[in-house]
Structure 1
C-alpha cells in the first residue's frame, strides 16, 4: 500500500489540489463580494454580457453595482472616443475572457473558470520547476506549498488578470527551455500578453528579444505573429480611446511614476502589509536558489533574472507598487511561479537543516496568514495603506504581545526605517548560511 502511494504521489497531490481549490473557490465566491479592481472588471464584464458593448456610462448608476453588493461605487473609467466612458485600466480583453463564464453562472462561473486556470498554472509550474531543477519529488512538494499560501492562494480565488498572465508566462518559459524554434501557439500567447494587461507588454518584448537572438540567422514567420498582435493592440487603443496618451487610457496615471525604486524593491520583499516574506517566509529561500542555479546553469539563471526584471519594470518606479486596494503581492503574482524552482534548488542543493525548517515553518506561517485573511470580513485580506495587518493583529491579541514592532512598515509615514535594514541584514545572513552549507549539485530530488 505504501509503495503504491509513493509510486502515485503525483496523482494524489494533483487530485487533492483540484478538490481543495474547488471547495475554496465556491466558498469564497459565495460568501464575499468583489472588491478593489475586481468589481470594476466585473462591471465591464456585465456591460459586455448585457449591453454587448464596453461603454460603462450606464453601468455604474443604473443598479448594476447593487448586483455586486454596492449601493454606490466610485467609477473606474476614462473618457474615450465619442465621449464614451471606458474602463480606466487600459485596453484589456480580461472582461471578454471571463464573459462567457459570467454569462453562464454569474460571479461563481467566472470564479470556477479561474479555478481551472489555476489548476493549469499549477501543472505548468511543476513542469517548469522540473525542467529547471531536475528535481521531481521536491517540485511536487514545494509547488503545492506556494500555491496554498500567499499570494497565489488568494489571487487564485479573485478575478484579477495576473493569474492568467502568469500561465502565459510559465508556458512560454517551458517552450523556451524545450524548443529551439518559436511555435505558433507560443507566438500567439506572447502577442496576447499586453492584451491581458498593458503592464505585460514588457514581458512580450522580453520573449521577442529572446527568440530573435536565438533565431537571428533564420527568422520564421511565427516570429511576426506577436508583432502583428501588438500592432493591432496599439491600433485598438487609438480607435477606442482616441489617443495613446496614458492620461487618457489609465486612471490616476499622472502621479504613477513618482515612487522610489529602491524603496519599492525593499517593501515588495519585507513590508509587513504588502511584502512577500512577512506574508510567506518560504520566499527567504529565493536568494540562495539564485546562487545555486547560477552556479549550476548560468543561462537559466540569467533567463529567470531577466524575465523578472522585464516583468517588474512597468511598476517598480510607481507609487502604486503595492497594487492599490488589494491583497499583498498582486503585481508579483505572475512572477511567483517562475521563482518556485529557486526555492526547490535551495532545498535540494543545500544539506543544511535550516532550509527544510524554513520551508516547513514558512508554509505553516503563510497558510495561517492566508486563512486569517479569509476570515477577516468584510475585507478578506484587502489592505489599506495604513500599516494594519490582520494576521499580526490576531497574534498580538492572542499573545498579548505587540508583534507589530518586529515587522517593518512603509505606511503610513512612507519611510524606510532602521527596522527595514535589520530585516535586510537578517535575510542576507540566512542566505549566507544556506550558501555556506550548499552541497554538490544534485540531479535528482
Structure 2
C-alpha cells in the first residue's frame, strides 16, 4: 500500500505535465496558425521575420482554448492524448527566424502545419475509437456519406479556371450528344458552344482518322454517354454528380468486398481510405474515365471473391465489356476481371451468358469504330498506341513515386497496401492473387505509356483503377500499423481540403515542379526531396530507392524506424540537392505575396521592399544562346504593384544581341534587347491588377551570349488587405490591358468587351482599373441605351448616380486611387446594363 502511493503520485504528476503540454501545444498552434515565417535573401543581406504575427487578443484566446481542450480530454488515457503534443511543432519555425539556424524548420508552417496537426488528431481519434468492431453498416449509408462529401467538393473543384486537360473535351462530346445527337464536334468548336464550362478558346483533340468534312474526337464515347443524363440536367455540375455517384458506389463495393475478406473493422478502414483520401475524391469531381474504371475493378474484386451467381456474373460481364468504351487501354483490365470471375465456381450457362454479354459489348465498340473511322480497330480513333514494355520499370516507379504525378506523394497512406498485399498472399492466397493481378494491369498499362502522367490532370490518374484492388490489400496493412494508417489517412484528408481551397495545385506541367509541394511549403523548396521521373538521371534512381528503403525501415521498426528512416533519407536528399534550402525565388515571392507594410514582426522589422529581388527561374540556366535559339523560363505570379525588371547577359564569343520578352500568359508586358554594348537592360513594369503566369522568353539574334540573370524588383505594392479592390484580369489580353494613353490607361478585369476605343459591359456591371499620374483626373464617359435609376459609377470613397441621361460624363481625380510611385491606380465600378464606357484624361 505504501509503495503504491509514490507510484500514484508519479502518475498524477505525469498526467499534470501531459495536460500542461497539451494545453501549451494547442495554444501555440492556434496563436501561430495564420503567421508565416520568412528567411529571405535580399540585395543587402539575409532578412528574417514574421508576417501576420498574433496580437495580444489572439494569444489570450489561444491560451484559453488550449486550457479548455486539455481539461476536456483530461480524463482520457494518456495514449489518446499524447499525439496532441504534435501541435507544438507550430513553434519550430521561430528557431530559424530568431537564430538563423535550422532553416529546414521553416517547412513546419502554413499548409504543412495542417498536415502535422491533421496527423496528430487522426492518431488521437483512432486510438480513442479503436475499441471493438463497428458492426455491419448498410451499403446505402456508405454510399450516401461518400456522395454527400463528393457533392460538396464539386462546388470547389475545378475552381475558377474550369475543367482542365481532357475534361472539357469529354464535356464537348456530351454536349454534342445532347444537342445534335451525334459526336461530330465541328459545329461545337466553330460556335464555341463550350463557353458555358470553359473560358477562353478550346483547341479540339481531333482524331487522326477523321473522315473528310467531320470533326471527331480521339477520345472514346463511353464517358460522354455515361455523363449525358447529368449534363443534360445540370451541365458541368450535373456531369460531376454522375461521377460522384460512380465513385460513391465504388467505395460501397470496396467495403463489401473487404468485409467479406477481412472483417468489419478492416472494411471500415479500407472504405474510409478509398472514399475520403486522394486520389478518389478529386477524380470523383473531375471528368475523367478512370473513376468509372475503378468502379469496374471494384465489381471484379467483389464478385470474384465469392461464388458468382447470375447477377454478379452478368454485372462483371457488363463492366468488363463497358470499360473499353471508356478507353481501349481498359480492355486488358476488363478481360482479366471477367476471367477471374468466371474462374470461380459457377454454372456453365452463367459463364456462357457472361461471355456473350462481354462479346456483344466489345463487338459493338468495334462496329462504332468501323462506322466512325472506317476501321474496326481498338486504336482507330488515336492510331497505334505508343506502348513499350521497356518503359515499364521507369514508368511504374513514376506512377507511384513521382513528386508531381505519383500516387505516394499525393496519398502516402496507400503505401500500406504493399506490405498488406504480402500478408494477403501468405494468409489468403486467392484474394492476394486477385488483388495483385487487378492492381497490376492498370499500373503496367500506364507505365508503358510515353505520357505516363496522364496529361494536364490531377496526380495518380493511371493508378486510380487499381485502387479498389489495392484497398483489399490495404486493410491488413492498416491493421498491422494502426497509428501509421491513422496519421497518413488524416494527411490525405487534409490534402483533399487543401485541393478544395486551391484547385490549381492539382494541375502540374510535366516539368518537375510540383505545385502541391510549392503550396505546402512556400518557404522551403521541397521539390529536390522527392524524385522527379521527368529527370532521367542517377539522382532520381537514388532518391527513389532511398525512399523505398526508408519506408521499409519505418515499417520494420515502427516509431524508431520512422525517425531513423526520415533522418537517413533527408541526409541523402540533402547531399544530392544542388540548390540552397531556401529558394531565393520562392522565398521572395512569398514575401511579395504577403506584403502589407504594417504587418510584420521579428528581429529585423519590415522587409526592405526595394532590396527584394525575385529571380525569374531560367530552367537549367544560365542560358547560352546561339542565333535563332529560344529558351523559356518557368512562370510565376505577381500581385498588383509597380516593379522594375532587370536582365543581364554576357558574351561567349564576338558581339551579340539577345531579344528578351516578358509576358503573362498571352499578354506581352515588355521587351528588351541586350547587346555587348548594353549588357544590362532595365525597364519599368506596372501591374494594376497583378499578373499570372509571368515568364521570360529569350531568343539569340546575333553572336553567342549567356543570359546570366533576369529578376523582378518590387518598388511599390498594393497591400494584401486591399488586393480585393485590385483583382487579376479575367482575360490577360492586349485589347483589355492598360488600353488608352498616353496619360490615362484602363484595364478591364471582368468580361467587358473592347468596342471602338472603349468597352461594352457584358451584363449589368463592369470593373476596371485606371492608372495614370496622381495629379491627373480620369474622364469616364458612359453611354446607355436604357438608363435605370440604379445606374452609377463607384470608386473607393465615391459614388455618382448616372440618372436618366443616356450619355453621362463623370470626372474622378486619380489621387483617389492608390499611389504606386510610377502611377496612381484607381478601381472603378460602372453599374449600368450593357453600357459602353470610355476612359480618358480630363483636359
RMSD: 2.9
Residue 104 of structure 1 and its aligned partner are, at CA, apart by 1.0
Give the whole-Å Cα distance in 1 for the aligned partners of 2:178 and 2:537.
Answer: 42
Instruction: Work out which of the residue numbers 448, 458, 464 in structure 2 matches 1:333.
Output: 464
Structure-to-structure mapping, 1:54-65, within 5 angstroms: 54-65=183-194
Task: Work out whether residues 162 and 334 of structure 1, in 8 Å CA contact, stay in contact via their aligned partners in 2.
Answer: yes
Give the equivalent residue in structure 1 for 2:730: none
Structure that is richer in strand per residue:
2
Structure-to-structure mapping, 1:131-210, within 5 angstroms: 131-133=260-262, 135-181=263-309, 183-210=313-340
Task: Work out whether residues 154 and 285 of structure 2, in 8 Å CA contact, stay in contact via their aligned partners in 1.
Answer: yes
TM-superposition CA deviations, 1:83-139 (whole Å, max 9, x none): 5221112x3321011112111111111112222222211211111111221x21232
Give the equivalent residue in structure 1 for 2:217: 87
Larger radius of gyration: 2
Instruction: Work out which of the residue numbers 162, 168, 171 in structure 2 matches 1:39.
Output: 168
Task: Work out whether residues 321 and 331 of structure 1, in 8 Å CA contact, stay in contact via their aligned partners in 2.
Answer: yes
Give the equivalent residue in structure 2 for 1:302: 433
Give the equivalent residue in structure 1 for 2:237: 108
Do structure 1's residue 225 and structure 2's residue 357 form an aligned pair? yes
SS at match of 1:64: coil
Give the equivalent residue in structure 2 for 1:424: 548
Q: TM-score, normalised by structure 1?
A: 0.86
Distance 1:280 1:44, change over 3 A: same
Give the equivalent residue in structure 1 for 2:198: 69
TM-superposition CA deviations, 1:366-402 (whole Å, max 9, x none): 233333333335x3511211122233213332xx333
The total of aligned residue pairs comes to: 422
Give the whole-Å Cα distance in 2 for the aligned partners of 1:356 and 1:12.
Answer: 24
Q: TM-score, normalised by structure 2?
A: 0.47
Structure that is richer in helix per residue:
1
Do structure 1's residue 50 and structure 2's residue 196 form an aligned pair? no
TM-superposition CA deviations, 1:196-230 (whole Å, max 9, x none): 22121101221343355446993543122212221
Distance 1:16 1:67, change over 3 A: closer
Task: Work out whether residues 237 and 243 of structure 1, in 8 Å CA contact, stay in contact via their aligned partners in 2.
Answer: yes
TM-superposition CA deviations, 1:7-49 (whole Å, max 9, x none): 7876876654343222222333675511110110001111111
Give the equivalent residue in structure 1 for 2:146: 17
TM-superposition CA deviations, 1:313-333 (whole Å, max 9, x none): 433211111111100011111
Task: Work out whether residues 54 and 86 of structure 1, in 8 Å CA contact, stay in contact via their aligned partners in 2.
Answer: yes
Residue 164 of structure 1 and its aligned partner are, at CA, apart by 1.5
Task: Work out whether residues 167 and 288 of structure 2, in 8 Å CA contact, stay in contact via their aligned partners in 1.
Answer: yes
Structure-to-structure mapping, 1:269-348, within 5 angstroms: 269-348=400-479
Unaligned runs of 5+ in 2: 1-128, 562-843
SS at match of 1:59: helix
Do structure 1's residue 368 and structure 2's residue 490 form an aligned pair? no
SS at match of 2:244: helix
Give the whole-Å Cα distance in 2 for the aligned partners of 1:412 and 1:384.
Answer: 14
Do structure 1's residue 401 and structure 2's residue 527 form an aligned pair? no
Give the equivalent residue in structure 1 for 2:368: 236
Give the whole-Å Cα distance in 2 for the aligned partners of 1:201 and 1:258.
Answer: 17
Task: Work out whether residues 29 and 107 of structure 1, in 8 Å CA contact, stay in contact via their aligned partners in 2.
Answer: no
Give the whole-Å Cα distance in 1 for the aligned partners of 2:246 and 2:451.
Answer: 26
SS at match of 2:459: coil
Give the whole-Å Cα distance in 1 for the aligned partners of 2:378 and 2:171.
Answer: 23
Give the equivalent residue in structure 2 for 1:391: 516
